[in-house]
Amino acid sequence: MCSAIKGRFKMDDGHRFFSGSFREAQQRLQAAAARMGVVARQFIHPLLGLDGEPLGTDVYLIGNPAARKVLAIESGTHGVEGYAGSAIQLALVDEILPHLKSPDIAVMIVHAVNPYGFSWRRRGDEQNIDVNRNFVDFADSNATRNELFEHLAPHLVPEQWGDEEVRGGDLALEGLRQTHGSDAVSRAMRRGQYSHPGSVFFGGRGPSWSRLTVETIADEYLATAADVLLLDVHTGLGSYGKLQLLSIEPASSPISGDLRRVFGPRLRSTSDPASGAANASGNIFAGYTRCLAQGRFLGIALEFGTVDQQRIQHALRADAWAYLSDDDKRKVFRERSRREMLEVFCPTDPVWRDLVVKDGVEQFRKALTWMESR
């Protein structure tokens, strides 16, 4: 039993917390927070969403605002992955956080870090930027160099998106795996690239709207905190319905041992090659770490597995192709692409959705107990 939250909660029907659109997700969370007397601070995005709705990132602070310990949970760093993170956040605000009893901890909820991708069912933002690769130092050419990606790029997003072209691309990529090694190719894809704005895992050419918003949130809400733990919810890595926890702490550090005792063997360090995580200097945790030089910061990604990697890669490549330019063929294709992106990053299967909410809430409760004990 989590000491910071009293009571028993049944989370076997967590799929009810999932929403069908950005607007619905945003409004349900706002309404649940309002029942607790909490109002969102809104960071308005300059563009509109798929249904013509205004977009933005909402920040909620629950508990003692002067607390020196902050437990934060973020959704939608990768746009379309935000449906899962938003469902966990809604479950927390609806059922768990009204019972928060710890005076020493503030809970910060950041809803939709990349609201554009959330609404438009894209992993990237309005500039096709992968926000979790955008926190690099753009003046440092070592951070943005990715030579192997130059060889992959022509085969990832072909001129035409047809069965033949995709098969040809797959074969060429397989050849590159044979030449350079599967791990090296996978790393080159996932670490981010800064030279092909229309392709997959594009880290941008400067700070994105989401990065600037995150930096403002860090400055305004966390600058005086002594101890911050941030849970960033993702989907699309690992086995179906299974959760991996990826910590930015090196596996050998004392705190990693502590974390493994709290979260169990599913917790891995992002520096562990077996984690499958990108070793990205430009990830959002690196951004927070720089902003919060005064206090202790720890980031853990919650990665919920969905479908197999090949289907995910195809969906990402098709999505990139659909937005490369504005010709009619691509515009028509976008609707199909959006459906596939939603399905591969947020399966409609209620069993998967139940697991996500149950596991997400459970990890949050463990994190809360651990923060209390520190």
Contact 59, 97 (CB under 8 A): no
Measure the CA–CA gap between 357 and 19, rounded to whole angstroms: 13
Nearer to Zn ion, 56 or 124 (CB): 124
Contact 64, 83 (CB under 8 A): no
Measure the CA–CA gap between 210 and 208, rounded to whole angstroms: 5
Dihedral over alpha carbons 335, 340, 342, 347 (to 10 degrees): 150
Nearer to Zn ion, 84 or 91 (CB): 84
Site string for Zn ion, 98-137 (x = CB under 5 A): ----------------------------------------
**The dihedral sign for the CA sequence 245, 246, 247, 253:** positive
Read off φ and ψ for residue 238, nearest 5 degrees: 105, -175
Nearer to Zn ion, 81 or 94 (CB): 81
* Minimum distance of Zn ion from residue 370's CB (angstroms): 23
Tokens representing 207 are 């700070």
Nearer to Zn ion, 78 or 191 (CB): 78
Contact 189, 200 (CB under 8 A): yes
Nearer to Zn ion, 234 or 358 (CB): 234
Q: Which stretch binds Zn ion (CB under 5 A): 158-166, 187-195, 233-241, 309-317?
A: 233-241
Measure the CA–CA gap between 58 and 60, rounded to whole angstroms: 7
Q: Which stretch binds Zn ion (CB under 5 A): 187-195, 227-235, 249-257, 349-357?
A: 227-235
Angle, CA 74 vertex, CA 141 and CA 317 arms, to 5°: 55
Site string for Zn ion, 62-91 (x = CB under 5 A): ----------------x--x----------
Number of chain positions touching Zn ion (CB under 5 A): 3
Tokens representing 95 are 């059922």
> Which residues, numbered 280-319, are part of the site for Zn ion (CB under 5 A)?
none
Nearer to Zn ion, 149 or 345 (CB): 345
Q: Which stretch binds Zn ion (CB under 5 A): 56-64, 89-97, 232-240, 328-336?
A: 232-240
* Minimum distance of Zn ion from residue 235's CB (angstroms): 7
* Minimum distance of Zn ion from residue 261's CB (angstroms): 26
Which is nearest to 136 in space by CA: 90, 226, 203?
A: 203
Measure the CA–CA gap between 46 and 122, rounded to whole angstroms: 17
Residue nearest to Zn ion (CB): 234
When binding is defined by CB under 5 A, the residue of 234, 268, 358, 365 that contacts Zn ion is 234
SS3 314: helix
* Minimum distance of Zn ion from residue 81's CB (angstroms): 5
* Minimum distance of Zn ion from residue 123's CB (angstroms): 7
Q: Which stretch binds Zn ion (CB under 5 A): 100-108, 162-170, 230-238, 358-366?
A: 230-238
* Minimum distance of Zn ion from residue 189's CB (angstroms): 13
* Minimum distance of Zn ion from residue 122's CB (angstroms): 12
Nearer to Zn ion, 81 or 126 (CB): 81
Measure the CA–CA gap between 266 and 302, rounded to whole angstroms: 10
Residues in the chain: 374
- DSSP element (H, E) containing 144: helix 141-144
* Minimum distance of Zn ion from residue 248's CB (angstroms): 14
E strand segments, 123-215: none
Tokens representing 58 are 């909402």
Question: Residues in the site for Zn ion, rule: CB under 5 A?
Answer: 78, 81, 234
